[in-house]
Structure 1
């Protein structure tokens, strides 16, 4: 235990010495003016490789991005690693502490990390083309980080398993009898954004709401992609959830968002490390992701007509305060030391 504590202290001390640059004013951000093809040529000349760490539940979540990027820019290779943001964040801190950064682009759900990383001098101040068009809440004033997509939890239900039901809209609707033994939910302590969702609900409805939810006998799982997988499985009887993302309905999964209640939305932030080994390739990737077509597909600038009828668009929503919730860590608390005991039940 002592060795572990000393190692952790050494890592943190090394990180502080390497990146603590308080009052290290570096002037204005680099504002991109080149066309995309010019950045592409520079990225090829640099080696044609970009490494991105992207927050997500499953490693295949964003495979389409790799395929589209490499198809649009022949000769470029996108080394994309999708993993939980809380793991990515720790690994990136380890790179900073070691003085050997080998990732070119980071995009995490742990949005509270970015102001800290910028204060440590770890991020490149770079404004991609279109940066000034982003909604103000989605961008750092010095262009150290900015949103590349929006995420929001939604109510979802499988219409094949729950045909003809009245749409659940408000949080109390999920307590109706038809959802008994049908809800599959992410553990609140598994994900900060899920924890925030339960915090918002219980601020409005109190602990009695949660007691009634437990009486519905929900199935608790790790990860926010797991409910989607389980709901979609025709062999599973679990049919509904409100702890996974979605703005739009799909073939047999309907979507709703509360009108009177609050729900969680946030902007997945991205940044280029100051010491990225392939900065031109990272710039190409970020500029590509902020092009209008890609941005719309990524729900960065979602169109109202595509949104579910009850959906509030996140950038002008009172619900887009996830970052503010995460910043006071004394309120959120430390991550649990281990998974809940019943996660390992046979």
Structure 2
């Protein structure tokens, strides 16, 4: 069986015989030894701009990162484009293939892309400030990519209409949820696909999914779409498990995390700098800032740094009983298995219908 550490160690062997004309064989890069302010000054001299492509399904999802970065570093501009990671990566491939790279940094859910890009010589090795504090499972040994922060899916429901808490996935089969569930197409999002894979393995196979279909859920595109409709549908839709709203949501939401081993999805949203990035110093500043204690502690949720405690009420991510944060990378690396599972769901519920969630105004 492929090791769960696959994503973050496989590429080291793959690139050992690849020649980079700038870096040579078996290149090694030291951890950043400049201060954050020294990197900041270098980024200003370079032009004061950094362009980030970030995975997501709402255009404004990274507005808080843009605001925090630009406030922390006056004179810098962070241009952020949010789109589904599976669309970002094909456009990055096109830029690499044509030699027309205009993006500096990427932060994507498609974890299988990073070893491939590394083996192609398309990434700039960089070990940002905070590198030594990263969990080793969240960083490429040669510094070509590393985790930015941990994302996860959670059970959530509208407390105005659901009075009995949801604890485990069987709870979604309660009669009160017939015609009330709103779920993201698993054949449209690999992290949602992985969630269904975990649930069905935990619940004993496909029988649970057949029972879920009998609940007549509404299927939508985008992991953020269920939250919007649960909030604004006046009780038409009341619960979901395909996505997240954070671990301490505001009313009317409540959340829960299943406690059975390896039952819910979590992963390190992973970032890298493109080798031909037009603003490498700006990208280095961004990466060092994202890994800083300042940003990691303020962001909420689980950190990729081992020296930062879990969010209030939760242990650190590797001590959470209901998830194995290394498993998603293993799942994503086996593209043949992913495709087989995707087509199983497409056969059951049809292809994903509707506009991309970034285009759909609901």
Could you say whether these structures have the same fold, taking a TM-score greater than 0.5 normalized by the shorter chain as the test? yes
- 1:299 matched residue in structure 2: 301
Superposition deviation, residue 37 in structure 1? 0.8
Give the structure-1-normalised TM-score: 0.87
**Which secondary structure does the structure 1 equivalent of 2:255 belong to?**
strand
CA deviation string 1:129-153 (max 9, x = no partner): 1111011111111111011111111
Q: TM-score normalized by structure 2?
A: 0.83
1:326 equivalent to 2:332? Answer yes
Change (3 A) 1:282 1:304: closer
Q: Does 1:272 align with 2:265?
A: no
Q: How does 1:83-232 map to 2 (within 5 A)?
A: 83-162=83-162, 164-165=163-164, 167-205=165-203, 206-232=205-231
RMSD of aligned alpha carbons: 2.3
- Post-superposition shift, 1:207? 0.9
Q: Which residue of 2 aligns with 1:8?
A: none
State the distance in 1 between where 2:137 and 2:152 align. Answer: 15
Q: Any gaps of 5 or more consecutive residues in structure 2?
A: 1-14, 20-24, 356-362
State the aligned residue count: 321
The separation in 1 between residues aligned to 2:16 and 2:47, in whole angstroms, is: 30
Verify: 1:314 aligned to 2:314, yes or no. Answer: no
Rounded to whole Å, the distance in 1 between the matches of 2:310 and 2:150 is 14
Secondary structure of 1:126's counterpart equals coil
SS in 2 for 1:127: coil
Give the superposition deviation at 1:274. Answer: 1.1
1:59 partner SS: coil
Match of 1:7 in 2: none
Q: Secondary structure at the match of 2:154?
A: strand
Residue 340 of structure 1 deviates from its aligned partner by 4.0
1:343 aligns with 2:353: yes
Cα 1:118–1:270, aligned 2, differ >3 Å: closer, same or farther? same
Contact 1:156 1:240 in 2 (8 A): yes
- C-alpha contact 2:159 2:253 (8 A) present in aligned 1: yes
- CA shift, 1:259, in A, is 1.1
Counterpart of 1:23 in structure 2 is 18
Contact 2:184 2:219 in 1 (8 A): yes
Secondary structure (helix, strand or coil) at the match of 1:61 reads coil
* Structure 1: runs of 5 or more not aligned: 1-19
Q: Distance in 2 between matches of 1:48 and 1:291?
A: 20
244-253 vs 294-303, greater mean Cα deviation: 294-303
Structure 1 residue ranges, 4+ long, deviating more than 6 angstroms after superposition = 334-337
> Given that residues 185 and 221 in structure 2 are in contact (C-alpha distance below 8 angstroms), is that contact kept between their aligned partners in structure 1?
yes
Measured after TM superposition, the shift of residue 333 of structure 1 is 1.2
Aligned to 2:7: none
| Secondary structure at the counterpart of residue 80 of structure 1 | strand
Range with bigger deviation, 64-73 or 262-271: 64-73
1:196-250 CA-partner distances (Å, limit 9, x unpaired): 1111111122111001111111111001010111111153510100001233332
Residues 223-262 of structure 1 aligned to structure 2 (within 5 Å): 223-245=222-244, 246-260=246-260, 262=263
